[in-house]
Amino acid sequence: MISGGHDKTMKTTYANGQKGFSLIELMVAIAIASVLMAAISTFYHSQLKTHVTQQEIADMQQDARAAMYMMTREIRMAGYDPLNSGATIRLADATEIAFDSDSDGTANGEIDSSERFYCGLDNGNLVRGGWTNPAAPNPENLSPVALNIDALDFVYLNSAGQIAAELNDIRSVQITLVARSGSQARALMRKRTDTRTYTNQQGTVILPAQNDNFRRMRLTAAVKVRNLGL
């Protein structure tokens, strides 16, 4: 017998006595599920952005620090010349340096090509190489040491800590390096506009504000070239 009233919840009753969901209940459930899925998706996307950003920064820091370690170690030995072979700094430019070092102290008292060092920038990459002709430090056999380097700067100081006027006056080298997080700004990285201006240790601008979404870091070192002036 059918009651004269009606079910306000509009549930469907099946033959076995079980009741199903009404259309309104299904819509509410779908709405709640959608909100939860949106929250989960937003959280996951946020965590993914954080992970990608941290990974890019970590890679940048590792490459830049390895490059700086290599430069400081080799430049410190510039002019090492136990047999008076003539080792010295050959090129002292703001963005590149070339020098030789009689690292093996060979008995013939000569500097060979493996003891000539060059360091500079090449298409945004820090490269290392050597040269063959003793009279002309033209870089050869360049190999990348660190990628995505926006600026490399050398400042050469004399024994009084002032800018060296001549190659023979150089007693220390200030190195400034600005590294960039990748060759292109990844879409999943957290967006932050880099408006900073990067300077060397003398306060001279070596990289103006780029106003892009790359992350950058600036590393500096002061290297005493202990073998010069002995």
pLDDT in tens, 91-103: 999 999 999 887 6
Q: What is the rounded average pLDDT of the residues 192-220?
A: 94
Question: What is the reported pLDDT for 1?
Answer: 43
Mean pLDDT of the residues in the chain: 83
One-character DSSP codes across 174-216: EEEEEEESSSS--TTSPP--B---EE-TTS-EEE----BS--E
pLDDT band at 127 (very low <50, low <70, confident <90, very high): very high
15-30 pLDDT tens trace: 555 566 677 878 888 8
pLDDT value of position 69: 95
Q: Please, where are the H alpha helices in 105-195?
A: none
Q: CA 190 to CA 11: how far, in whole Å?
A: 48
Mean pLDDT, residues 54-63 taken together: 87
pLDDT greater at residue 46 or residue 138: 138
What 3-state class would DSSP assign to 73?
helix
**Residues in CB range of 166: below 8 A, 6 or more apart:** none
Average pLDDT of span 62-84: 89
Contact between residue 176 and residue 52 where contact means Cβ atoms under 8 Å apart: no
